[in-house]
Structure 1
Amino acid sequence: MLRVLAVDDEKPLLEELLYLLRSDDRVLSAEGACDATGALRRITRALESGPDGADAIDVVFLDIHMAGLTGLDIARLLAGFAQPPLIVFVTAHEGFAVQAFDLKAVDYVLKPVRPERLAEAVRRACDHLGRNAAAAGPASAGTAAVPPAVPAQHRPAAAAAGPAGAGPAAAAAADRAQDLIAVELGGVTRFVAIADIAYVEAQGDYARLHTDAGSHLVRIPLSTLEERWAARGFVRIHRRHLVALRRIDELRLDAGTTSVRVGAAELQVSRRHARQLRDLLMRQATG
């Protein structure tokens, strides 16, 4: 039986997917994650737990279009492990099928999800796991057998070194994901290091990331980035701007107005944020 993680940033669709999965007798458990960060944390726990652990996951049912890291990005990160969980993409977009199967996805299910089509995806995942279990052969004498639903080749690459071996590798993958943000450029998904971003500009429900090399538009509201990146030293200076504190070159006071220079850009600081910004810069200057 399958232990499943479903990932979708649209809550009603995630709940419907979980309902259908939990209704399938071949699914032992089905958990949900509503964003890439939550999904990576859960998958990291699964890899650290090992295939026999309470937190193990056999299959990830993964949406493609999500804020921040996309489903394809998550699959690419998981591909860095020798034995990641199986991937089934669940998406409203037909155009990513080639990329999905290049990433060795077990199936590609289009939304709206029909129960019989999802049942077919579950069958394919079960068959795939069963074939892998048969190929692995019986456990050698003195070695505990791996349950058929979690074949030996789904162990993390470092599993041979013991359960603790998977932890650092899995944590490193999650850390790498947290240090990057996915952007689309000419139809290609690329990763930008958050450390390279000088400031962020609100553009409706989108945000434009400004780096020394150029700018990138992402489908994430500025308020969301403010919450996510507060611990990374990004501060709100205006309803339109979020700035990396370490990238501020000058603070200017002129006739009661406050602005900052970030590289070649001069950005206005709103009155409600001016005092907090001055305090933060003073603390930074005094160590």
Structure 2
Amino acid sequence: MKKRIKALIIDDERYSREELLHLLEAHDSIQVMGAEESATAGLAQIADMEPDVIFLDVEMPKMSGMELAKVIQKLKKPPLVVFATAYPNFAAEAFRYQAIDYLLKPFDEEQLAVTVQRIERALQMTPVEPEATPKGKLAVEGEKEIVYLSPSEMVYISREENSTHIYTENQMYEIKLTLKELEQRLKDYAFVRIHKSFLVNLDYIQKLIPWFNGAYHLELMGRKETLPVSRNYVKSLRDRLEL
């Protein structure tokens, strides 16, 4: 994204503000413009800064996060709201205020990454032109040859210890790039992260099978093994996969 997303943190707990600020610094698309310790101070900053998104605690003195969310819905251009709280029981009410996500403390890095992706998609204003679909092949360098793989033939990619493996229907290739580097190169193709160690081609997904504690297993066409889907990535996977 050419323009960075302006974010504001509103939380009465200093440690939580500092932790969230630190974690968001790892995301280049996000620019934290400020961190306020009360909803009233946050409301003034929203009017002044016009942030794209606010990370908002629920339980705060004088004015709660829910009350602030209700107020800003009346603005001409309200920011996106991500509730960041220690209390899971407010989730249903939060989404009545059109919250884009609901983060629980202590913050999980993987879940925050999913939230940032959701914010990026929500703020992406430029439609993708069909004719702009990228072309090219991925070079996999071996000892004696370079194999060129089309993204369409890659079923999934995994990171195992210090090695990255690309699986097609019949072969496995080892590549020097990290999973994060490959995710960046393949961002314009039908690939989605399902776990900190796996990227999957959406075109090969066949079944999503419930496992336990909100996690799933994934069956893929052309492969016998199943892959784990972390509960932190289930919603983003289904958002990309389903009509």
TM, length-normalised to structure 2: 0.49
Which of the two has greater helix per residue?
A: 1
TM, length-normalised to structure 1: 0.42
**Larger Rg over CA atoms:** 1
